[in-house]
A and B are shown apart, each in its own frame.
Chain A
């Protein structure tokens, strides 16, 4: 969570809407898994930002877990 905040602080803004990204509700889906989570996203166009450490850390772990289910 800290890192997400850091990225938020480091100031990604949505290039399309010129809005800073902020945490918001996200639907995440993979194979048999459906999750409601909070991730960074543009509050206007709802484009989701998945940072590198999330994609290669927790998210990968969940993907692997679902693949072996």
Chain B
């Protein structure tokens, strides 16, 4: 895996860009944090946040010209947030609290500030806090410059004097009534290591650098109105601050220009989706300053801007508490580990690979693609935990074997214009609908409809097993050629996704489109206006012909449709995708529950796995083929899906039955020890489900144990304990013999191979 390429993908994610107000603020006050605290009614903490970035916060908060508000995302949804007024209010309520300041260690380097106005004071405070010995030269009798013009109801003389007093307490030396002009600069430079000019006007015109605020004279910097050419208070503050950074770097002899791109105002890259935000009018203060109650209401209008669209949409990211950037770093680390635990394996194998993240992301960050690549890399390095996908891959092997695989032209024909490929999960859950659909297709379509029972190979793709996946694709391709290149008719969105992406030569169409084109079977029951919440399969998100086709059928059958929030191209996975069902059951339950809690009504799915999972977690759900071929909708909507064992049996039985019904062929195909009679109570069945143990496995263990006598016996209770290693798993079954049957007491397995010496 190319890890540099992986890390570069982090850059696509825009979520940690600043909200527009914070980026636009020339001193980047954390407006979002400030709002959050007011929302929580913590005015003290809100004021602390203000103070972190804002010098002389009691004063500047009252006079700031708040350019932040012009870019507020709330602007078109009831008006921008009154950030300026909220700052005023918070400072009024909390500004009286005495600041505690720690003594500053001196660095014994001297700097001079010419002009004790807004920018000069900011520059002086910032440099003093870094340990410089700072002297302010002010031509007037008192400091403050333009700030004094604002003295009135909100900014009192007293507050201004307090802030100036605080500057003195910091240890800044102040010389008032001293006029400095251009000719004094040279002399000052001999005494001071750097000079700042912030006098509003200056007799000489400098060529000022917009980033460093250098004047062209070595060691002399400037800011305030001389630099910005307008009256913005907050911009003045910003220039004083940025000049202070330059002066510090100049004296420390480090680069004046490095990493300063986003120091002043800029437009953020963050994008916030406001389509679901409703309008809320601004709160108008009842007097000069917001009351606390009004301030809280106004702050609550703040959207606390973030992107996080993927995080909000994806249960996997929420479950792992990872956003794409953190996830990519975690994968990078996991890939690089040589000694030690690969702690991210489970997370990587829990992603549903459903692609919702990409479809909601403003910049198209595709975690599914990244995780698919990661799984392949784990497999190729021998670092994929074998237990994660073993069951699903063995299931795939079964589905490709003679126990399910079937390829035939329509009975009595030697060519096929179409080839019905129902897929393994529909055959596992609804063998009867496969049979009915096939009969329907033969009746409606000319030119021969062949039947192809097989697996599309999706588990191989999901598990990162390129070897198995390639083999399966090759087999499908060759079978397709051998049948004269017919058009595949698909009833599973995952098969559709796989064939569309990996076997583009093959023409494909969905069963749903054929229903719509040729008319629904005559016996289909009408819905009489019943409402269904349509859940789209995650593998259908890129194919409007699938999700629109389904809706057409539903409408023709006279059902009403409710669209969930996540729908069509932005549908949310049921929890099965990407084999997360096998790698992390707890998470699958979480994801399934999230999906079914989205809407109250009954759901409609068109993937057997989605339907069965929803019902298993208590949601009434119908399959689209229930609507087309079913009888008792209420009963069908609560009917539990088959167990893992039954799914396999259904596939085998479907093959045997369908061969007999349509071709008159009898097939005697049995799995090893299939005739053994088992008695399994409900609790043991649920253990088996949890432990991914099939009835077939149990029969193989008991059959072999009875035959070879390789087993243990307990004379006290008459129980037997048989074991058998099948490929890479040892299965154990404790049982008792009851007549011709075997009652299963428990069953378990382990992967470790144990040999007695």
Which residues does A use to contact B, with CB under 8 Å?
Answer: 10-16, 21, 24-31, 33, 39, 41-42, 45-50, 52, 55-56, 59-60, 62-65, 67-69
Contact = CB atoms under 8 A, between A and B. Distances in A.
Nearest to B745: A52
A29 to B, nearest CB: 5
A62 B341 CA distance: 12
B617 interface: no
B521 interface: no
Contacts of B751: 30, 63
Counting chain A CB atoms within 10 Å of each CB, the highest count among B710, B714, B721, B756 belongs to B756
Given A52-B732, A55-B748, A67-B385, A16 B343 contact: no
A59 B345 CA distance: 19
Given A15-B711, A24-B756, A25-B757, A69 B716 contact: no
A2 to B, nearest CB: 18
Interface string B339-368: 001110100000000000000000000000
Contact of B756 (A26, A56, A63): A26
Contact of A10 (B345, B714, B723, B732): B714
B738 to A, nearest CB: 18
Contact of A69 (B341, B710, B749): B341
Contacts of B343: 68
A28 B753 contact: yes
B730 A15 contact: no
B177 interface: no
A55 B756 contact: no
B755 interface: yes
A41 B342 contact: no
Interface residues of B, number: 34
Interface in B699-741: 708-716, 720-721, 723, 730, 732, 734
Given A21-B712, A28-B754, A52-B748, A68 B732 contact: no
B386 interface: yes
Given A10-B716, A16-B710, A68 B341 contact: yes
Contact of A30 (B714, B752, B756): B752
Contacts of A67: 345, 385-388
B750 interface: yes
B748 A56 contact: yes
B643 interface: no
A27 B753 CA distance: 8
A65 B716 CA distance: 37
Given A67-B386, A68-B345, A69-B341, A28 B714 contact: no
A12 B712 contact: yes
Contact of B750 (A24, A26, A42, A55): A55
Nearest to B721: A12
A62 B752 CA distance: 9
Contacts of B757: 24-27, 46
Nearest to A60: B750
B176 interface: no
The 6 A-B pairs with the shortest beta carbon distances in the complex, nearest first, are: A46-B756, A67-B385, A41-B756, A30-B752, A55-B750, A15-B713
B709 A15 contact: yes
Contacts of B708: 16
A26 B756 CA distance: 5
A47 B705 CA distance: 12
Contacts of A33: 752
A43 B388 CA distance: 35
B750 A50 contact: yes
A11 B752 contact: no
Contact of B720 (A15, A27, A48): A15
B756 A50 contact: no
B746 interface: yes
B714 A11 contact: yes
Contacts of B750: 50, 55, 59-60, 63
17 contacts: A11-B715, A15-B709, A16-B708, A24-B757, A25-B757, A26-B756, A29-B753, A41-B756, A49-B712, A49-B721, A50-B754, A52-B732, A52-B746, A55-B750, A63-B750, A67-B385, A68-B343
A39, A50, A56: residue with the most chain B Cβ atoms closer than 10 Å: A50
Given A25-B757, A29-B753, 6 more contacts: A14-B712, A14-B713, A15-B713, A24-B756, A48-B754, A67-B386
Nearest to B713: A15
Contacts of A21: 712
A4 B713 CA distance: 16
B714 A12 contact: yes
